[in-house]
Amino acid sequence: MASLPDASANVKLGKAFASSRDSLRQDMEGGGGGAEGLNTVTSNGQLFPTPSRLDDGHDGDLLTAIEDRDLQRGLAQRHLSMLGIAGSIGTGLFLGLGFAVQTGGPLGALLGYAAIGLVVCAVQFALGEVAALLPVTGSFVRHAEFLVDPALGFAIGWNLVYGNMLSIPSEITAICVLFQFWTDINSAVFIVVFIVLTVGVGLTLVRVFGEVEFVFALLKILLVVFLVIMGLIINLGGVPGTERIGFRYWQDPGPFVEYIAAGDWGKFLGFWSVMTGAVFSFAGVESLAMAAAETRNPRRAIPRACKRVFARIIIFYMLAVLIVGMLVASNDPRLDGSGDNVAQSPFVIAASAAGIPGIASAVNAIVITSAWSASNQSLLAGTRVLYGLALKGQAPKVFLRTTSWGTPYMCVGLFTCFMFLSFMSLSKDAITVFWWLVRLTSAGVLVSWSSILFNHIRLRQALRRQNIPASRLPWQNWWTVYSSPAALVMCIVILFTSGFSVFTKDNWDPATFVSAYLDIPIVLIAYLSWKFLRRTKIVSLDEIALKDAFEQAEQYVEEPEGKKKGWIRAVSWIWD
């Protein structure tokens, strides 16, 4: 068994992590169920000092006694990598790409996704550096409390809960759109079925959840590879009876689409309009660290997953965007469901045009499972953030209740209530509701990415102020000092311009304006309200307890990593 870490260091670090302890004490009193005895034994055999019942979750180790006792470390590094892939390959890729090509043109869509891909790169590496040092449930939400201000952690946390609450019905609404490819059965049937399935997976063991999403992620990767190969075959005239397309659609209607305005300015606006959909498409990659307290060897697994997921997602998305731009014309009415057409995935459009029997239906079916998988991932991320908020006294303590197998079932129950927002598609065109939810979700994602980047900037500033070399970080990269500020500026600019179309002549639309900008006042009100009520202060760079965090990180004993044998070694490159 590992030696007992210094108790005073852990207590001091816990105090720093919850600097508003005195104001939060009343919220937690009597809640959470403190640990009985002096120590909590972690899954790898380490002992952590457990404070009194009143302080449980506030003054203890960075990994608080409550989460270490009530949650189970059931996620391995392969689960994290595939969770990141599963969460980000959903309707944003399979359905949203059609809108990107339609408004930006094939080249505009490719450039737009490339720009957001660079931002995602910066976000992933920033998250990996901070989460490797501070692997806690809630990830960057609790990092914001430790590195910036408890009020910011409160605001970002509830914003993330709200964003994931909307992300799930957006995926279910997209499923309704996709089912219209086959049938005109009332969408309520599909909504109920997928709500039940999502809740069922959300209540299982986290390890079972990880295995389910692991399989789904493999299916998605195989689907993307298949679609890219199929797209190339169709494009090059490899299907009997079809002619070679090549880059025909890059010539006519053209590589860019004029959006709202004419000329080069209109083409730029078309390119910029791709940004919001691209953000939604990449949403989910940042949530792989949300369940850090349920992850084995988090200081090794999280950085590895951040690095691997980024590389694979960029490759998949760039190839997919390129192929879609070659297969479908930007003026195809089936991309947005105009007239008598139902909105379809561009891949389904291409397969139908090629006349390949059964391919269109098979692709549509796997796209539907991908949407469901993305909703599962949003449920995991959102419920763990809500649990983390309750842990710090920033949400009702009822959300600390877990099943005997470690699932926060009250958190799942709250998210279930918001899944019924997908019934909005019954009274309004489903694709319209889908894009409302996309804009709402994208704004929340941009706020989350901004928080991750700002947390990282604060961490690096604190390291310099306290004369601690960055080389002591469990994982660090020299370029993140430059990439984080640049990506933060980009996120803020996209956030404030995401609804630019409503400010142009004759294009005012209240629903679009609200869905694009509602998140900004929500976050500001949450931040200022908690700051006023609890009188929190921005943490001084000198007072951030980094030395204690490093001491704890260096005392952490990782479980040994077994060597892969047999056939698994041939495919493990996907996640390792």
User: What is the per-residue pLDDT across 291-336, written as a single tens digit (0 to 9) for each?
Assistant: 555 566 667 777 777 777 666 667 778 888 898 899 888 888 877 6
Same structural domain for residues 309 and 445? yes
Both 6 and 104 in one domain: the answer is no
- The answer to whether 359 and 120 have CB atoms below 8 angstroms apart is no
Better pLDDT: 50 or 463: 463
List C-alpha distances in Å: 198 to 99, 364, 388.
27, 19, 21
DSSP lists the bridge partners of residue 346 as none
564: number of Cβ within 10 Å: 13
Backbone phi and psi for residue 39, each to the nearest 5 degrees, phi listed first: -135, 155
Residue 87: what pLDDT?
56
102 & 15 share domain: no
Compute and round to an integer the Cα radius of gyration of the chain. 24
Strand partners, 39: 49
How many domains would you assign to the chain? 2
Q: Is the pLDDT of residue 148 over 80?
A: yes
- Together in a domain, 63 and 83: no
Which has the minimum average pLDDT: 34-48, 249-263, 362-376? 34-48
For residues 47 and 96, membership in a common domain is answered with: no
Report the mean per-residue pLDDT for the chain: 77
Position 284, amino acid? G
| Residue 559, pLDDT score | 56
Q: How far apart are the C-alpha atoms of 177 and 373, rounded to whole Å?
A: 16
- Please check whether residue 471 lies inside any domain of the structure: yes
Residue 51 sits in the same domain as residue 166: no
**Position 194 in a domain:** yes
Same structural domain, 183 and 90: yes
For residues 401 and 289, membership in a common domain is answered with: yes
Quick check: bond before 253 cis, omega within 30?
Answer: yes
In this prediction, residue 467 carries a pLDDT of: 94
Is the pLDDT confidence value at 554 over 90? no
